[in-house]
Structure 1
Amino acid sequence: MNLLPAVLVGGPPHAGKSVLFYRLTQALRERGVSHHAIRACPDGEGNWFQEGDPDAVSSIRVKLTGEWPASFVQRISQDLKHRRLPFLVDMGGDPRPSQESLFRYYTHSILLLRLDKPEYIWRWQRLVEEHNLLPLARLFSQREGTSTIMTQSHVLEGTLTGLERHLVKAESGPLFDELVERLATLFCSYNLDEIRLSYLEQAPAELVLNLDEALTAFTRTSSRWEPDQLQPFLESLPSQTPLAVYGVGPNWLYAALAAYAHPHPLHLFDPKLPFGWVQPVEVKAGEASSSEIHIETYSNAYASVLSVTFPTDRLEYLQPEPLALPHVPTDKGLIIYGRLPYWLLAAVVCFYRATGVPWIAPFYVQLKQAVVVYDRTGTYHPGHLLSMPAFSNGRI
């Protein structure tokens, strides 16, 4: 039995759960509270969805409707079962009976409800009670007005307002602050420093990068990694050595570290997997070999684009055979487009670096640009921003 908390953020559709979920995880990170935020619903959302330009978000999002695939539910079940950190979980607004099996892995609940949806109030309350979740908060969402605390007993109750997408720096207020405090208290009731230290000690490489500590040591002026920090950060690292990378960072940072370490091993910590530390997934040259992944390529005179999507919104780490990657021209750079798990992104970067492409840049939806992570020609430096190329077919 996994004793680490898994806190469900539940409630009806269009109540602002994803916005609340995003703001909660950001507030916890600002406090240095170790946890992992997981979207246990195949709706294509994530931090990038809240931070990114709406047009870019719409172009990259793959949303599933209807019944969730059984393979997706099984994958999320395993992620929850094997969690290596406290989890904050967004399950979506309308779980079907086939998805209720996930509730056995949750320990606590935060409900964000709507007064104009009484049927959902009853339904979510029933789910929480039937599965014996410990309630942390029962809140009602309103678009306008002032957030208010109704009761501050063992279950926090009140009205939360202003949960609008893309307003990521909205004011918090006493209700939100109290909710963050209760979450932080719950998560920190476990010795998170000791847990983190044990994971770092288990790292399978001599050089271990804790990205939170690395950012603090590297700059005092930013609370998050920015592309202009990439080149000086890489220059501060020893070359030609295996790396183990722990913590939260943007896709381009993990991609750059994979390219920098190559051909030496890169190890990544995934808190959803039972073994924690993993290497990039195995890949090979060839045509698609798995129904779990869909890859398309586009090229013009400027660059090639490798577009990667997942029909069920998740990719299993353990594959029966290496994932196949298509040929791309080696006389132009490569932009990697899609929401790839970092252990796949690192594998893709190293694979195409070895083929001889002149430069590689994963698309970063928050900036609506690609970030160069590797260049063998000297044309670009790590961290250089590139616009997405236009294609005659209008696909990207």
Structure 2
Amino acid sequence: MVACLNKPLQLTVTEVTGRNGTRYQCLEIDITVPQLEPAVLGKLDLPAELDQSRGLVLWGSAPIWLYSYLIKRCRALPWVGCYSVPLGSFVIVASRCKEMVPGDAFQLVNKSQCSAILIGGPPNSGKSVLCYALARTLKQEIADKNIFLQRAQWDGEGNWFAQMKNRPLAEELSKRSRAKGSEQFFLYHANAVSSMREGMELVLVDFGGMPKPKDVVLLHRCTHYIIISSKPEEIPKWHDFCGKRGGLKPLVVIHSVREKRLEVLPNQKFLEIVAGPWERGETLSIPDELLKAVLKLLTC
């Protein structure tokens, strides 16, 4: 993955795989502000790593005028397509070669792919504990379903971290296994999530750290999101990151507290609860309301 950072807009060159196994060049669009102004076009550069000899798939939530501009800028390429989430395909919109005709659609995502829930929130909110407890509860409640928890985080805290009774040793091992910063980190996990959605019936994605522009490639591989936060003021940032920039559907918002508590808040758009505590090695189950919200994705 190579990124071209043009705040308030980021363009990232990646690779996507078609259902037929063909690899396609992709330009992922990430808007980093609530309202993108057309003036950004005057300073917009395409990534230097864009291969002009290959076709290109445009991918991401963006205004029509930005898509129109990018299609025009890429008119020298063999062909240009735009990805459609409902179709799970990219549609050819401009072409200089006979093999790719405008209107043709090429499937990238199998319609039968399962849902993928990105679980995120600010540090010290209980996210990793929630992920483990949710995965554990789902496997107990629906043992006949294939559920997978993907730990897309830097700290190296897998399920073993939640299961170990020797907490000092667990902390030491976590420090040793902490990942180093890498441009490829979230691209690797994005591709892994795409692959797992082919064979699983539900994928949970433990998203590590605070939102950054380069992390959007992982969002594009998910369908829904859960926010868990001990800081109410941080929740809008996560809605912006997951919902507006990633195009994901909100599933649950958890206001994390340290005391034993469960309160369902009035919200018609998604489940919103106050819940706690989320203690490592102690919290092994989740509220019934949360379980029901997640199980709905398996019956859609």
Q: TM-score range by the shorter chain?
A: 0.5 to 0.7
Task: Please tell me whether the aligned partners of residues 9 and 21 of structure 1 are also in contact (alpha carbons under 8 angstroms).
Answer: yes
- Aligned partner of 1:43 among 133, 137, 155: 155
SS of equivalent to 1:37? strand
- 1:21 aligned residue: 131
**How far apart in 2 are the matches of 1:185 and 1:36?**
17
**How far apart in 1 are the matches of 2:226 and 2:259?**
21
Amino acid at match of 1:6: A
SS of equivalent to 2:264? strand
Q: Deviations over 1:329-379 (max 9, x none)?
A: xxxxxxxxxxxxxxxxxxxxxxxxxxxxxxxxxxxxxxxxxxxxxxxxxxx
SS of equivalent to 1:135? strand
**How far apart in 2 are the matches of 1:88 and 1:113?**
17
- 1:82 aligned residue: 195
**How far apart in 1 are the matches of 2:250 and 2:178?**
29
- 2:237 aligned residue: 123
- 2:183 aligned residue: 70
**How far apart in 1 are the matches of 2:236 and 2:251?**
17
Q: 1:194-343 alignment to 2 at 5 Å?
A: none
- Aligned partner of 1:9 among 119, 123, 126: 119
Task: Please tell me whether the aligned partners of residues 50 and 165 of structure 1 are also in contact (alpha carbons under 8 angstroms).
Answer: yes
Task: Please tell me whether the aligned partners of residues 132 and 284 of structure 2 are also in contact (alpha carbons under 8 angstroms).
Answer: no
SS of equivalent to 1:70? coil
Q: Deviations over 1:236-272 (max 9, x none)?
A: xxxxxxxxxxxxxxxxxxxxxxxxxxxxxxxxxxxxx
SS of equivalent to 1:105? coil
- 2:227 aligned residue: 111
Pairwise CA distance, 1:151? 2.9
Q: Deviations over 1:31-51 (max 9, x none)?
A: 114210011112111111101
Q: Deviations over 1:51-70 (max 9, x none)?
A: 1021331332235377x312
Q: Structure 1 residue 95 and structure 2 residue 226: aligned?
A: no
Task: Please tell me whether the aligned partners of residues 187 and 217 of structure 2 are also in contact (alpha carbons under 8 angstroms).
Answer: no
Q: Structure 1 residue 186 and structure 2 residue 283: aligned?
A: no
Task: Please tell me whether the aligned partners of residues 38 and 87 of structure 1 are also in contact (alpha carbons under 8 angstroms).
Answer: yes
Pairwise CA distance, 1:138? 1.3
Amino acid at match of 1:166: G
Q: Deviations over 1:167-225 (max 9, x none)?
A: 1446x4xxx11111221221344xxxxxxxxxxxxxxxxxxxxxxxxxxxxxxxxxxxx
Q: Deviations over 1:6-38 (max 9, x none)?
A: 101111111101111111000000011421001
Amino acid at match of 1:124: W
Identity %: 29
TM-score, normalized by length of structure 2? 0.56
- Structure 1 residues 123 and 152, CA gap change in structure 2 (3 angstroms): closer
- Aligned partner of 1:163 among 278, 282, 293: 278
- 1:132 aligned residue: 247
Greater share of strand: 2
- Structure 1 residues 97 and 143, CA gap change in structure 2 (3 angstroms): same
Structure 2 spans left out of the alignment, 5+ residues: 1-108
- Give the root-mean-square deviation of aligned CA atoms: 2.0
Task: Please tell me whether the aligned partners of residues 109 and 134 of structure 1 are also in contact (alpha carbons under 8 angstroms).
Answer: yes
Pairwise CA distance, 1:152? 6.2
Q: Deviations over 1:282-341 (max 9, x none)?
A: xxxxxxxxxxxxxxxxxxxxxxxxxxxxxxxxxxxxxxxxxxxxxxxxxxxxxxxxxxxx
Task: Please tell me whether the aligned partners of residues 13 and 93 of structure 1 are also in contact (alpha carbons under 8 angstroms).
Answer: yes
- Structure 1 residues 98 and 169, CA gap change in structure 2 (3 angstroms): closer
Q: Deviations over 1:107-164 (max 9, x none)?
A: 0011112335x1x222101012222211111121111141111136441011011101
**How far apart in 1 are the matches of 2:179 and 2:150?**
19
**How far apart in 2 are the matches of 1:145 and 1:29?**
24
- Structure 1 residues 75 and 110, CA gap change in structure 2 (3 angstroms): same
TM-score, normalized by length of structure 1? 0.43
Q: Deviations over 1:67-113 (max 9, x none)?
A: x3123222112101212212101102313222122111110011112
Task: Please tell me whether the aligned partners of residues 38 and 88 of structure 1 are also in contact (alpha carbons under 8 angstroms).
Answer: yes
